[in-house]
Chains A and B, each alone.
Chain A
Amino acid sequence: DAGVIQSPRHEVTEMGQEVTLRCKPISGHDYLFWYRQTMMRGLELLIYFNNNVPIDDSGMPEDRFSAKMPNASFSTLKIQPSEPRDSAVYFCASSLAPPSGSGKTQYFGPGTRLLVL
């Protein structure tokens, strides 16, 4: 398996522009997670899906952020409009279990490095 695939790997955009990050989870994984990582705040869970349905989006910072999972093999995280404080590395991860699932590992993608100027 190729693991979790994310695109693009790097994104540079100007404030106010729409940004769309993409993720392909590992085949067969029921759970998909979106994380954000910054030096100041570390890793933060933004939202997670189970069987394509958003289960908990309490980590999404504000209405400018939205995430969808139209099918089991694809998810997007959209920021509209983007702001400089959104600059971070965004990770997608997939798993066979929910966040509390003690026996199952989450597999992370390589991340998308976003810079908003």
Chain B
Amino acid sequence: KNQVEQSPQSLIILEGKNCTLQCNYTVSPFSNLRWYKQDTGRGPVSLTIMTFSENTKSNGRYTATLDADTKQSSLHITASQLSDSASYICVVISGGGADGLTFGKGTHLIIQP
């Protein structure tokens, strides 16, 4: 069964610190992996889309990595800001149909001043 596991479930860090969120998956076959940021009360916003051949992709202070061999991805946030407080959702896509999308339950990140 296709699964996406995210860790930690929740995380609290001080403003200015770095953090890394993990996403492990058992989805097969693999098409691409996406990280979304979801602010409270809003819809998810895409941060990165990573294909099989991409190891690292950056979007400002966000850097995503992908190891297709171990089926792991991480999202690193550098110099965190209060606005980074949100849920971060990992989604792995294996095909074109509705059952080809496997969602993680997200990591809830809180940045404290």
Q: A interface vs B, CB < 8 Å?
A: 4, 42-48, 55-59, 91, 93, 98-100, 102-103, 105-111
Contacts and interface: CB of A to CB of B under 8 A. Distances in A.
B103 interface: yes
Residue of A44, A102, A103 with most chain B CB atoms under a 10 A cut-off: A102
Contacts, number: 66
15 contacts: A43-B91, A45-B101, A46-B98, A56-B97, A56-B98, A91-B44, A99-B93, A99-B97, A100-B31, A102-B31, A102-B32, A102-B93, A105-B46, A110-B41, A110-B42
Given A102-B32, A109-B43, A47 B98 contact: yes
Interface residues of B, number: 25
Contacts of B96: 55-56, 98-100
Contact of A108 (B45, B93, B99): B45
Contacts of B97: 55-56, 58, 99
A42 B31 contact: no
Contacts of A102: 31-32, 49, 51, 93
Contacts of B100: 99-100
Contact of A103 (B41, B49, B91): B49
A48 B95 CA distance: 13
Given A59-B98, A99-B96, A111-B41, 17 more contacts: A42-B104, A42-B105, A43-B89, A44-B103, A46-B98, A47-B98, A56-B98, A91-B43, A91-B44, A99-B97, A99-B98, A100-B32, A100-B95, A106-B46, A107-B46, A108-B43, A111-B43
Contacts of A4: 43
Nearest to A34: B98
A27 B49 CA distance: 22
Contacts of B51: 102
Contacts of A105: 46, 49
Contacts of A45: 98, 101
A100 B93 contact: yes
Contacts of B104: 42
